[in-house]
A = this chain, B = another copy of it.
C-alpha cells in the first residue's frame, strides 16, 4: 500500500481546526441556552423549574416508566428526583400506579393536567426545532441526528436509542402523532 492510498470508503475528511470546533461548542451552548429558555419562562408561572420540566417530559413521552428508569435517564440521585416528583404528584400533574407484575414498582403516568402542561412547555421548543431543521434542509436532518447521537457517550447510545425510538412496551401507550 502506498502511503497516500485513499480507499473509496475512507475519505480523509480533513480534520477541522480547533478554532472551528470551538465555534461549534459555542453555538451548541447558545442553542441549548435558548432552547431551554422558552419553557423556563412558562415554568415560572407554575412555580416550577427546569427539573420539573425534565421529569414531566419523560413521564409524558414515556408514560408508565418506573422511578428507576427516570433516575437512569436523568442521571440524578433519588433524593433530587424525589423532591420535584413529589411536587408534581401532589399538585396533580403525575400519578403513580403499582406495577402489575412487580407491585414494588411505581409506574408513572401524566394526568390530563400533566399532559396539558407538557404540551404547553413543548410547543415553543417544537416550533423552534422545526424551524431549525428546516433551516438545515432535508439531508441535514439525518446529519444532525447522526451528529447528536455521536455526541452521546458511546455506552449510553443503546439506552438513548431505546428512548428516542420507543418500542411501545406492554403497559405504555404510543402517543398520537399530532403536529403542534
Give the chain B neighbours of A160 by CB distance below 8 A: 26-27, 30
Copies in the complex: 2
Mask: chain A, 132-145; 1 = CB below 8 Å from B; 0 = not: 11111111111111
Most chain B beta-carbon neighbours within 10 Å: one of A28, A35, A128 = A28
Given A133-B147, A147-B135, A151-B132; A126-B27 close (CB under 8 Å):
no
A144 adjacent to B136 (CB under 8 Å): yes
Given contacts A17-B179, A19-B177, A177-B17, contact A27 B148 (CB under 8 A): yes
Residues of B within 8 A of A128 (CB): 151
Give the bracket for the number of chain A residues in contact with chain B.
35 or more
- Chain A binding surface SS class: helix
- Asked if A156 is an interface residue, CB under 8 A from chain B, the answer is yes
CB neighbors of B among A152-180 (8 A)? 152-153, 156, 160, 163-165, 175, 177-180
Asked if A66 is at the interface of the complex by the 8 Å CB criterion, the answer is no
Q: Is the CB of B152 within 8 A of A34?
A: yes
Contact yes or no, A16 B133, CB < 8 A: yes
Q: Can you list 23 A-B contacts with CB-CB less than 8 angstroms, sorted by A residue number?
A: A13-B138, A15-B179, A18-B177, A18-B179, A21-B133, A23-B165, A24-B144, A25-B122, A26-B160, A27-B145, A30-B152, A33-B75, A34-B151, A34-B156, A128-B151, A129-B151, A131-B150, A135-B150, A137-B143, A139-B140, A140-B140, A140-B146, A140-B147
